[in-house]
Chains A and B, each alone.
Chain A
Amino acid sequence: MFQAFHLFQMIRSSNKGERQISSNPLLSIKNIQKDFYGNKVLEDISFDLDRGEIVGLVGENGAGKSTLMNILFGMPVIQKTGGYKGTVQLNGKDICFRDPVDAIEAGIGMVHQEFFLIPSFTATENILLNRESTQYNFLVELFGDRLQKLDRTAMKERAIRAIQTLGVDIHPDTLVSEMPVSYKQFTEIAREIDREQMKVLVLDEPTAVMTESEASTFLTAMKRLAARGIGQIFISHRLHEILEVCDKIVVLRDGKVIKNIPASEATLRNIASWMVGREVGTTSFRRARSADDQDTSVLLSIDKLKVDMPGERVKNVSLEVREGEILGIGGLAGQGKLGIANGIMGLYPAQGSIILNGKPLPLNNPLESLKAGVAFISEDRRGVGLLLNESLKLNIAFTAMQVKDRFIKRLPGGIKWQDWNELDASAKEFIDRLEIRCTGPDQRVVELSGGNQQKVCVAKVLAMEPKLLLASEPTRGIDIGAKQLVLEVLREFNQRDRTTIVMTSSELQELRSICDRIAIVYEGEIVGIVPADAPMEDIGLLMLGNKLVDEPTHA
């Protein structure tokens, strides 16, 4: 009854809106399929969104959430990669947008995780960006509509109306740069609300940057919007928020809808296990853990590490890594798992203490870390890992040359000449060992495929002969064969040379297949360390920030 009243109100207030209430759902996604170059990312996705309904969309990173949203918004990247199969219906009509502007005009709004606001503009100016109220003047006849004068009073009124809908108290003249985070998020939503035709609102992790209290105000505002008949898709990793506010929960995993159930029928634990999936057979990499592993000495000990890596901030991490082990670091994207390795390498400003082999490691100094015997495979292969325009052999030898003076012939006068014979020889050795597909040591790295580029990164690290290897996302974006090979090489490296490895990865299966222990990072802290064969469900819960009640003693 209540719902219907608001629905009626909404329809009356929208001048061009639908006149009749159809029996169709507001938004209907039917049998969506999408692949990127033969790589299936979405398979047969279907679900509905009704007026005034909030659907919670959950799934691990890479489950397909963002691809689905890109399809909904007609992002150009979808068309460029060959479009998609299946249909999306809005109010019973098929829709297929060419670009986001089309989507916005049709009434779909999006609130981004990163703010799409201009900081030096006021709330009003941001809310009404490019939809300002204007007044006519005669110069318009000469130079066109853009010379209409802004009607500041009318703009303010509209802004206030939009803000009030959310039930928050933001002064329309406040500069965005002076707002707390949640207000920025509200301003973004107010901008969507001001569009009179707005029917569907997609909220992509809007609460990720908010405090508890800010988030609860936010959830209240969501409910108010729902009461006005706006359908919402809510993406969040904070499951209790999902449970609190959503009517329906859709769980995605590996591009498939795993569950589509009313929120009342779901529990935290259920959702977590649906997200990460069930136990799969053990894989070939893991060695039988022998008893003596447990008495080996500590190689690396980290205390209260804080790393200022944008997007992957580490707040407080203490961790011990034993000599000869492979420690996995897992967690969802943005929680800070990548910050740990980058912090140890000194690539982002860090605080705290790191002791390697009994000696304190100077922070924020990559050269010292390298000299102390740490090597790093960066998660950003093309950005940090490689000199794309240079030859394979130089890429492989570069670090060892700079740090250890390897591959160098000393000429009279102390000149350190690059020894290209040695460079060639070592490059050829690695090309054979890692099966790098290339024309030879002189080929430029940019011409190689992703998997082979990654092998060059691995070779670069092996040439360093490190005591401790930090491998961040070593298999990201490479094909199965290369993946297998990289993991095998790491394993071999660990066993033959007894090199300690800290491997960071978003793929749980991969961590479980190669690591001895897995540490899970949530909101910049380690929430638990479990043996690699711990139940998936437990790991899933940890990834979502729920500490295990009966935390197992460290194996």
Chain B
Amino acid sequence: MRNIFERAINTLGWARLIIAAFLLVLFCVAPFVGIRIDTSLSDILVRVGMNGIMVLSMIPMIQSGCGLNFGLPLGVIAGLVGAVTSMEFNWAGFFGFFMAIVFAVPLAIILGYLYAQILNRAKGDEMMIATYVGFSSVAFMCMMWLLLPYRNPLLLWGFGGTGLRTTISLEGFWLSILDKFLSFRIGSLFFFPTGTLLLFALACLLMWGFFRTKTGAAMMATGSNPLFARANGVDTDQMRTLSVIISTVIGAIGMVVYEQSFGFIQLYMGPFYMAFPAVAAVLLGGATINRATITNVVIGVILFQSILTMTPSVINNVLKTDMAEVIRIIVSNGMILYALTRKEQAKK
């Protein structure tokens, strides 16, 4: 009996068990403080779909040994540029959404390639450098948003100002285009964002498939044991580069998906802290700095978004105060901190 218990802890990890138990308590308490479970579940599902692909983008880099992708803002920037460019042409509906991705992907490939060149020169210090590469690129794009020659008045500041607006609404373009695809409602409050979740599932499937290929095995070996990979005929630098490009491209697509669900495009400092929730989610799902699976992503994003949805609403209703932000900060950074201080597992 005790053995089973211990094994459960070992496979799941304390952190996840505690958080899952905490969630369970929240769900039990929720009806008594006037929170509807169906609304909450619906909220959670929407947010899972919204963030899932960005969390998934962590996998290739972790698996190839480049660590947690704190440089996610690069992918986010590509996603933003793609979205803004598609809107510049006034393209709406599925076509607009699709073209946003079409514009975003090549840019993500270029940025990812450059980013990989930096990371390959900083082996062992990837995370800190990734963070600051992310920050500087966001700051750099702040200048670009002012300077880039976009002309569509819907995107620009109305009077006097120059450059793109800080927040651009997707209303009339491709707002919730995926969320509403094949979606259905149960009752008046439960909404199921079928399209977004389907795309997330498809992305997970593709990612799983990728690691079942020859290249996927080589990438996994690069992260798991670079010496082994090299000795067995794998070009490790090339694998790392590929993984960074894939991560960035998925990040870019994830951002476009996020935007359609969120309803707004936030430029300037908007993408600044985008990496942290995604990193925290995958870690919460049980990934470590050098190993992550699809299961980690799915569990992680569900747990993380549940916490972010449930805790504030329960606390708000009990204490009549809004603690969402503080909880988000403590949970996500606490999770990252926990992962950083964990002893690395049998690696050499």
Contact = CB atoms under 8 A, between A and B. Distances in A.
The answer to whether A binds B is yes
A390 interface: yes
B217 A394 contact: yes
B228 A386 contact: yes
B341 interface: no
B221 interface: yes
A417 interface: yes
B190 to A, nearest CB: 39
A170 interface: no
Contact of B228 (A345, A370, A387, A403): A387
Contacts of A376: 231
B342 to A, nearest CB: 15
B291 A370 contact: no
Interface residues of A, number: 31
A385 B232 CA distance: 9
A376 B213 CA distance: 24
A394 B232 CA distance: 13
Given A408-B214, A416-B213, A418-B214, A382 B231 contact: no
Contacts of A383: 225, 227-228, 348
A380 B230 CA distance: 14
Contacts of B100: none
A446 interface: yes
Contacts of B185: none
A389 B346 contact: yes
B224 A418 contact: no
Contacts of B347: 388
A380 B291 CA distance: 22
Contact of A387 (B212, B215, B224, B233): B224
B212 A384 contact: no
What range describes how many residues of B lie at the interface?
Answer: 20 to 34
B6 interface: no
A399 interface: yes
Contacts of B235: 367
A137 to B, nearest CB: 37
B231 A384 contact: yes
A366 B230 contact: yes
A402 interface: yes
Nearest to A403: B233
Contact of A446 (B217, B221, B346): B346
Contact of A384 (B214, B227, B291, B345): B227
A263 interface: no
Contact of A399 (B212, B232, B345): B232
Interface in B297-348: 345-348
Interface string A382-415: 1111111110001000110111010010000001
B218 interface: yes
Given A387-B224, A388-B225, A389-B346, A417 B231 contact: no
A370 to B, nearest CB: 5
Interface string B198-236: 000000000000001111011011001101101111110
B231 A387 contact: no
Interface string B63-100: 00000000000000000000000000000000000000
Most A Cβ at <10 Å: residue of B230, B232, B233, B346: B232
Contacts of B213: 415-418
A347 interface: yes
B233 A390 contact: no
A389 B320 CA distance: 48
Contacts of B221: 387, 390, 398
B232 A403 contact: yes
A382 B217 contact: no
A378 interface: yes
Interface of B: 212-215, 217-218, 220-221, 224-225, 227-228, 230-235, 291, 345-348
Interface of A: 345, 347, 366-367, 370-371, 376, 378, 380, 382-390, 394, 398-399, 401-403, 405, 408, 415-418, 446
Top 3 nearest A-B pairs by Cβ distance? A367-B233, A416-B214, A399-B232
Given A387-B224, A402-B214, A418-B212, 11 more contacts: A378-B231, A382-B348, A383-B225, A388-B347, A390-B220, A390-B224, A398-B217, A398-B221, A402-B232, A402-B233, A418-B214
